[in-house]
């Protein structure tokens, strides 16, 4: 029962932000980084490669919402997760090129999870002590180093591997982040959708990485939790309309979304179309007033085993709760304090998100 289910990815995310007189929650000097396992258009090789079905595509709609919001995207780092890091890079390039966005800000990040005890080397001249750095992590460092402290928001839409590496390798740069908004977490660590167990994918693919990130206290962490992010879809009727009579941009997004939407619908019969998990993070950033969130929540990463290629969480759980939880004996436990967003302040939030996503697929 957990087999098929286990290979499902759900992503969810949220942001905390402070308004500054603009029409949305973003300020004019906000800078955006994405850490993402973007998979739009990858029609096989899901879940880090071995699964034959299409990779998930929700990351793509987080990015289009950022474009629609005219956010200053200075980096998109692709990670293993929905597929592998290099196909994901190509997926971003295609997905953004068709919209007219051709800035040189896309880099390949982590190809696999950190070891439970991340590899370190003895001092060797100017060489970094940790062994996890890649083009994506270096881009994140460069963006942070060239911007003022407190203006860069990092959207965490995939495994936290590259973010943990940034923290370990370049802590001074990491500490300049304004916030991390991650699609991750649930109240009890065992999310269920339509009676089917699903995986807290962004945690499960690299449990130790997220554990390391929540332990730090310099950068606020906002968790857009499964309780909220499970809602919202790009309906099959919209996808079909795009494919059959849409603009060139809509035709590509429709055709590239349909295979995963069909896969999803075959499992979750009560839903209609493509789930929008990751898109909630950017939507929250732009419209924080539409979500219900609580500060000073306890995040607990309970790591009882390595992730496997299908992201099994049999022994790994990530909870966001008002108080502390009791972990099982023998587990490695990481804890931190986060802002947790688990609901909606407005009954129209989900439909307004869906409408915003539909409108965001256009030329930029």
Whole-number CA gyration radius for the chain: 19
Q: How far is the CB of 259 from Ca ion (least distance, A)?
A: 16
C-alpha pair distances (Å), 351 with each of 131, 232, 269: 44, 7, 20
Nearest CB to Ca ion, comparing residues 60 and 130? 60
Best CA proximity match to 340, nearest among 303, 299, 302, 300: 299
Nearest CB to Ca ion, comparing residues 170 and 231? 231
Tokens read off for 201: 């994918």
Nearest CB to Ca ion, comparing residues 147 and 233? 233
Residues 327/329/330/332 CA torsion (nearest 10 deg): 10
Q: How far is the CB of 22 from Ca ion (least distance, A)?
A: 27
Q: Scanning the structure block, which residue is given the tokens 């390595």?
A: 306
Nearest CB to Ca ion, comparing residues 37 and 162? 37
Nearest CB to Ca ion, comparing residues 40 and 166? 40
Q: How far is the CB of 126 from Ca ion (least distance, A)?
A: 34
Tokens read off for 39: 């998979």
Q: How far is the CB of 333 from Ca ion (least distance, A)?
A: 25
What is the rounded end-to-end Cα distance, in angstroms, of the chain?
43
Q: How far is the CB of 59 from Ca ion (least distance, A)?
A: 4
Best CA proximity match to 257, nearest among 176, 352, 360, 343: 360
Best CA proximity match to 37, nearest among 7, 60, 14, 54: 60
Nearest CB to Ca ion, comparing residues 31 and 63? 63
Nearest CB to Ca ion, comparing residues 11 and 360? 11
* φ and ψ of 254, to 5 deg: -65, -50
Q: How far is the CB of 200 from Ca ion (least distance, A)?
A: 12
Q: How far is the CB of 243 from Ca ion (least distance, A)?
A: 23
How far is 295 from 288, CA to CA, in rounded Å? 13
Q: How far is the CB of 232 from Ca ion (least distance, A)?
A: 14
Nearest CB to Ca ion, comparing residues 60 and 238? 60
C-alpha pair distances (Å), 170 with each of 35, 108, 146, 173: 16, 18, 14, 5
Q: How far is the CB of 130 from Ca ion (least distance, A)?
A: 24
Give the residues lining the site for Ca ion (CB under 5 A). 11, 37, 59, 157-158, 278
Q: Specify the pairing of strand 274-275 against strand 233-234.
A: antiparallel
SS3 content of the chain, % helix, strand, coil (to 5): 35, 25, 45
C-alpha pair distances (Å), 127 with each of 121, 122, 123, 145, 146: 9, 9, 7, 19, 22
**CA pseudo-torsion sign 231, 232, 236, 237:** positive
Nearest CB to Ca ion, comparing residues 281 and 316? 281
């Amino acid at each position: 029962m957990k087999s098929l289910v286990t290979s499902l990815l759900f992503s969810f995310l949220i942001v905390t932000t402070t308004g500054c007189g603009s029409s949305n929650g973003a300020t004019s000097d906000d800078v955006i980084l994405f850490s993402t396992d973007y998979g739009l258009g990858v029609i096989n090789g899901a879940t880090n490669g071995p699964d034959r079905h299409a990779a998930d595509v929700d990351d793509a709609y987080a990015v289009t919402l950022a474009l629609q919001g005219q956010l200053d995207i200075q980096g998109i780092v692709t990670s293993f997760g929905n597929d592998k890091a290099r196909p994901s890079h190509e997926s971003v390039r295609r997905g953004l090129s068709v919209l007219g966005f051709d800035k040189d800000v896309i880099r390949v990040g982590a190809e696999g999870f950190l070891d439970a005890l991340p590899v370190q080397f003895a001092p060797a001249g100017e060489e970094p002590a940790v062994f996890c750095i890649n083009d994506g992590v270096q881009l994140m460092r460069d963006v942070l180093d060239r911007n003022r402290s407190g203006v860069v928001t990092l959207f965490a839409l995939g495994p936290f591997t590259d973010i943990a590496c940034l923290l370990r390798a370049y802590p001074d740069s990491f500490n300049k982040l304004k916030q991390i908004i991650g699609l991750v977490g649930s109240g009890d660590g065992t999310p269920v959708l339509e009676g089917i167990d699903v995986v807290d994918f962004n945690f499960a693919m690299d449990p130790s990485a997220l554990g390391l990130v929540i332990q730090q206290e310099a950068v606020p962490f906002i968790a857009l939790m499964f309780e909220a992010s499970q809602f919202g879809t790009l309906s099959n009727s919209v996808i079909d309309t795009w494919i059959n009579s849409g603009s060139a941009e809509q035709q590509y997004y429709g055709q590239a979304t349909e295979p995963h939407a069909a896969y999803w619908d075959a499992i979750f019969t009560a839903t209609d179309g493509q789930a929008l998990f990751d898109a909630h993070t950017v939507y929250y950033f732009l419209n924080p007033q539409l979500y219900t969130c609580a500060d000073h929540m306890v995040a607990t990463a309970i790591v009882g085993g390595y992730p496997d290629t299908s992201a099994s969480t049999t022994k790994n759980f990530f909870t966001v709760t008002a108080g502390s939880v009791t972990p099982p004996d023998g587990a490695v436990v990481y804890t931190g304090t986060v802002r947790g967003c688990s609901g909606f302040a407005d009954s129209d939030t989900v439909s307004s998100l869906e409408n915003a996503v539909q409108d965001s697929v256009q030329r930029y």
